[in-house]
Amino acid sequence: MTKIDITETTRDDIPGLQAVLEATGLFPPELLPDFLEPVLTGDSPALWRTGWVDGTPAGLVFTEPEPMTDGTWNMRALGVVPGHQGRGLGRALVAAVEDDLASAGQRILIVDTSGTADFAGARAFYAALGYDEEARIRDFWAEGDDKVVFRKALEALPPVHRRRSGGAQGGLARAVRLARLASTQVGGHPDGAQASERCGRVPEVG
């Protein structure tokens, strides 16, 4: 039987996650070490989780606080390798960050996606996970490519949903403190990332 695990991303996961990035095309794999470094050293509030199938990395999720908000997080990247899609790993990755954020008193998780046909599967996925289509900005990304914002209120999650995913809580309290700091800095973000990036398109490191 297939075994799915979700863990806090560590330095050791980098080669496996670079293979995931290669397979999903989320963003160039060579950017991963630079994105992860401030997270691993505790200087960024972002949360990265590795999804494993039978002991091999097969997916990832990355979320970070929205600057100048109180308790609102944006899921910047989510991907599962094609060979393992449709078997619950994406759902497990999102549930893990929802649980961690809800347990830490964070309020809202949003995801910026696209209105194009290419993203119909992603939109159906978020709807299946209880996300509401909250906003749509026509032609935002490009002519004919709307920005579609999905939203889920973490406070509304039932307590059973808030079970701890094993070993993934480390550093979260610090992440929340950094998030609060970021929320007080105009235009500020501890690792220099830019807002308004579509899920799967990770912003340039500043």
Question: Which residues are near ligand COA by CB under 6 A?
Answer: 24, 78-80, 85-91, 111, 113, 121-122, 124-125, 128, 199-200
Distances (CA, A) of 172 to 28, 167, 175: 26, 11, 5
Sign of CA dihedral 47, 204, 197, 184: positive
Closest distance of CB 105 from ligand COA, Å: 25
Closer by beta carbon to ligand COA, 84 or else 189: 84
Structure token pair of residue 135: 């906003």
Closer by beta carbon to ligand COA, 124 or else 156: 124
Closest distance of CB 72 from ligand COA, Å: 17
Length of the chain: 206
Query: Could you give the CA distance from residue 35 to residue 12 in angstroms, rounded to a whole number?
Result: 14
Closer by beta carbon to ligand COA, 89 or else 101: 89
Give Cβ neighbours of residue 51 (< 8 Å, ≥ 6 apart): 4, 5, 6, 57, 58, 59, 60, 61, 80, 89, 90, 92, 93
Closest distance of CB 178 from ligand COA, Å: 24
Closest distance of CB 88 from ligand COA, Å: 4
Closer by beta carbon to ligand COA, 125 or else 190: 125
Which residue lies nearest ligand COA, judged by its C-beta? 90
Closest distance of CB 180 from ligand COA, Å: 26
Sign of CA dihedral 33, 35, 38, 40: negative
